Amino acid sequence: ADGMRRILVTGGAGFIGSNFVRWWCGQNPGQVVVLDALVYSGNRASLAELGAEQLRFVQGDICDRALVSKLLEAAAIDTIIHFAAESHVDRSILGPAAFVQTNMVGTFTLLEAFRDRWQTQGKPADYRFLHVSTDEVYGSLGPDDPAFTETTPYAPNSPYSASKAGSDHLVRAYFHTYGLPTLITNCSNNYGPYQFPEKLIPLMCVNILLGRSLPVYGDGQNLRDWLHVSDHCGAIATVLNQAQPGEVYNIGGNNQVKNIDIVHQLCDLMDDRAGELPVFPARQLITFVTDRPGHDRRYAMDIHKIQRDLGWSPQFDFSTGLKQTVEWYLTHRDWWQPLLSEEYQTFYQKLYGPG
């Protein structure tokens, strides 16, 4: 029955969502419905290679209850994979309102519409609402603290992580209160193709190619766990197909890397293509900037639960994945160049100043 799911993917024109839809269509027959508002980070071009047999694309807001309900019914949806979100910590510091609206009110709206449909259909046991969340809900770790587990108390520190934490709690409550068959995944930092250039890895790739300075926050020693987006897609499908409703799974790469080490690796990979670089060697562009307020020092994920219960483990080797990602940004200027809009430049200058 799993191969025949009728899925709605929210945020399917974003970074992880578009990778997931492409990946899903490669594995499963049938049409995926995508609902995406195409805010600044959503890009229809990220799904360009999928035709009408595989994809029905609807531009709209997850906070629009009438639209969501209509869509669930018209497409006979039994499964929601919920990616849509405001996703950038720095933007949440500059303007938190959109984060509360989309991440909390939007998730609530989807839950209500899905609960209504599930009840109307007689509470089918195979319906699923899979909520995609982040390791940032758990807060920040000291150098010697053990990694986050699924039972680590929530301690979000940014408006972004607080709004994701709020949405996680709503999803949890809909399972415990109404019995709605929900699942939650909390994943570490993703990297790979189609990521909007505001995030660390594509920001550095694009800036190296433009000869722009490479802003590194604080001392650059912040530690993140990095997972290739393809591994994340596989983990989500594994949880969807195998996990019991109400479960929560951490997803990660067992791969903690300091920000500054990533920047160095990216510079060195780009230096292999010296002929295409305005500034060589690229490390000359590194500029340390005033730290992000409330900047979490370290995240690390304990992924024993998903390994033990569902047999999933990350497959991508980080240096290979990073090399492929650099190659992707080198060969897809036509994808990222149009994203450097006036809105983007204004946001960029607010954060890092001119340069």
Question: What are the residue numbers of the active site?
Answer: 135-136, 160
Question: Quick check: 134 binds ligand NAD (CB under 6 A)?
Answer: yes
Distances, alpha carbon 211 to alpha carbons 143, 198, 278, 285, 336, in Å: 34, 16, 5, 7, 15
**Closest Cα to residue 134, out of 179, 199, 68?**
199
With CB atoms as reference, the residue minimizing the distance to ligand NAD is 14
For ligand NAD, the closer of residues 16 and 285 by Cβ is 16
- For CA atoms 121, 123, 127, 133, the dihedral sign is positive
DSSP tag of 130: E
β-pairing verdict for 256-258 and 223-228? antiparallel
Residue 117 contacts ligand NAD per CB under 6 A: no
Our finding on whether 243 is near ligand NAD (CB under 6 A) is: no
Rank residues 157 and 213 by Cβ distance to ligand NAD and give the closer one: 157
Using CA atoms, how far apart are residues 11 and 31, in angstroms rounded to an integer? 16
Residues between 165 and 224 with contacts to ligand NAD, criterion CB under 6 A = 187, 189-190, 196
Of 19 and 265, CB closest to ligand NAD:
19
Preceding peptide of 193 cis, ω within 30°: no
Q: Lay out the site mask for ligand NAD across 51-70 (x = CB under 6 A, - = otherwise).
A: ----------xxx-------
Contact residue for ligand NAD among 85, 111, 162, 263 (CB under 6 A): 85
Q: Which is nearer to ligand NAD, 133 or 277 (CB)?
A: 133
Nearest-approach distance from CB 198 to ligand NAD, in angstroms: 9
In the complex with ligand NAD, the residue whose CB is nearer, 226 or 277, is 226
Distance separating the N- and C-terminal Cα atoms of the chain:
54
Q: Give the C-alpha separation, 107 to 171, whole Å.
A: 8
- From 10-18, 234-242, 280-288, 301-309, give the range in contact with ligand NAD by CB under 6 A: 10-18
- Residue choice 7, 8, 14, 270 for contact with ligand NAD (CB under 6 A): 14
> Which residue's entry shows tokens 């019914």?
73
One residue of 15, 175, 336, 347 binding ligand NAD per CB under 6 A: 15
Q: How far is the CB of 271 from ligand NAD (least distance, A)?
A: 26
The helix (run of H) or strand (run of E) holding residue 271 is: helix 259-271
Name the one residue in this structure whose structure tokens are 């519409």. 113
**Residue from 6, 23, 28, 39 that binds ligand NAD (CB under 6 A)?**
39
**Binder of ligand NAD out of 21, 34, 84, 137 (CB under 6 A):** 84
Q: What distance in Å separates the CA atoms of residue 51 and residue 285, rounded to the nearest whole number?
A: 41
Cα separation, 21 vs 13, in Å, equals: 9
The tokens for 147 are 């990694």
Question: Strand runs (DSSP E) across 37-117, as ranges?
Answer: 55-59, 79-82
Cα–Cα dist 177/179, whole Å? 6
- Find the binder of ligand NAD among 5, 8, 11, 249 (CB under 6 A): 11
If binding means CB under 6 A, how many residues of this protein chain bind ligand NAD? Answer: 31
Among the candidate windows 81-89, 175-183, 270-278, 286-294, which touches ligand NAD by CB under 6 A? Answer: 81-89
Site residues, ligand NAD (CB under 6 A): 10-11, 13-17, 36-39, 41-42, 61-63, 83-87, 102, 106, 132-134, 164, 187, 189-190, 196
